[in-house]
Amino acid sequence: MDCTWGDKPANLAAVLRRTEDAADRGARLVVFPECVLTGYGFESREQLRSVAEPLPGPSTDAVAEVCRRRGVWCVFGLIEVAHDGKLYNAAALVGPAGFVAGYRKLHLPCLGADRFTDPGDRPFTVHDLGGLKLGLNICFDGSFPESARILTLLGADLVVLPTNWATNARKMAELVSAARAWENHIYYLAVNRIGDEAGFHYIGLSSAADYLGNVLHVAPEDAEQLFLIEVDPIAARQKRVVHCHGLYEIDRVNWRRPEWYGPLVENPGRFTGHFTGADRVG
C-alpha cells in the first residue's frame, strides 16, 4: 500500500480499514510495510521525533481493538521513541490480547529515516501466535542471511519483512523471499510499499515463498494489493528434505558446521576497517 508522509491519523485509519478487509477474507495475521504509520523520507532527527510514539502507545491501542474484535494479529511499521529518548525504526506486533512486542531494526542503511534512527538493541525473538511461530525483520535486515537464520534456529515457521524498497532495491524484491525461505526451510513474507516520497519511487512487488523456496505470490508493481497466503507450520519444521531415501537427502539447518563459522563473529568491524560512526548521518 501507499502511505502519506507525516500524516499518522490518515495512515492509521488506512491500517485499521485494511486490517478489517483482510479479516473479512479470512486472514489470521495481517502484515503492513515498514514505516507505514509515518512514511520514511525524513530529513532530520527532529522531523522524525515529531511522528514517533512509544510501544505500546496510542496506535497499538487502536490496532489492538480491531485485533481483539476480529481475532487477528497485525504487524505494522512505525517510528518508536524509547523512554530514554532514542528513536527506532520499529515494527509492532499486536494481537487479540493487545500489544505483543516491538522489533527494532538492527541493520541501518544510509537512507531515509534510517539516517537518524538508533540501531536496534534487542536480540532476535520468535513469537507464538497460537501455533504459528513468527519472526520479525525490517527491510535492510533481509540483506543479511544471519537475520533469518537466527530466527529459524529460534523456531520461526514464518519470517515477515516489512520493507520500503525503492527502485534501486529491485533485486531484493526479486530474490529475498525465495532465497531466505529456501535457505532456512521456512515461510518468508516481504511486504513493500508503493508511491513517491522525498524523491524516491517505491515499487511494490511484495512477495511470499514457502519452505521449499517456491514463490507463492508476487504483488504487482506500483499498485496496492491485499493478498493471502497459507502457512503450514508443521511442514516448515520438518527440515530434512528427502528426495531419495539414503541417496539424496538435504537438511540446510541441522547439518550446519558452526565450529567453522568463527569469522562471522570474531571481528565486529567492517571488512575494510572499523565502523567510525561517520558512515551514517546522525
Task: Judge contact between 213 and 171, C-beta under 8 A.
Answer: no
d(CA 55, CA 78): 10
| Nearest Cα residue to 112 out of 38, 174, 172, 57 | 38
**3-state DSSP of 93-113:** EEECCEEEEEEECCCCCCCHH
Cell numbers standing for residue 71 = 481475532
238: region left, alpha or beta (phi > 0 left; psi from -120 to 50 alpha): beta
Q: How far apart are CA 134 and CA 142, in angstroms?
A: 15
DSSP H helix total and E strand total for the chain: 7, 14
Q: Which of 8, 34, 53, 67 is catalytic?
A: 34
Q: How far apart are CA 31 and CA 75, in angstroms?
A: 5
Whether residue 3 lies in the annotated active site: no
Q: Which of 3, 35, 74, 139 is catalytic?
A: 139
Chain length of the chain: 282
* 42: helix, strand or coil: coil
Give the Cα separation of 90 and 87 in Å (integer): 9
Nine-digit cell string for 140: 535492510
**Cell 537475520 belongs to residue:** 147
Is 139 a known active-site residue?
Answer: yes
Active site residue 74: no
Catalytic residues: 34, 105, 139
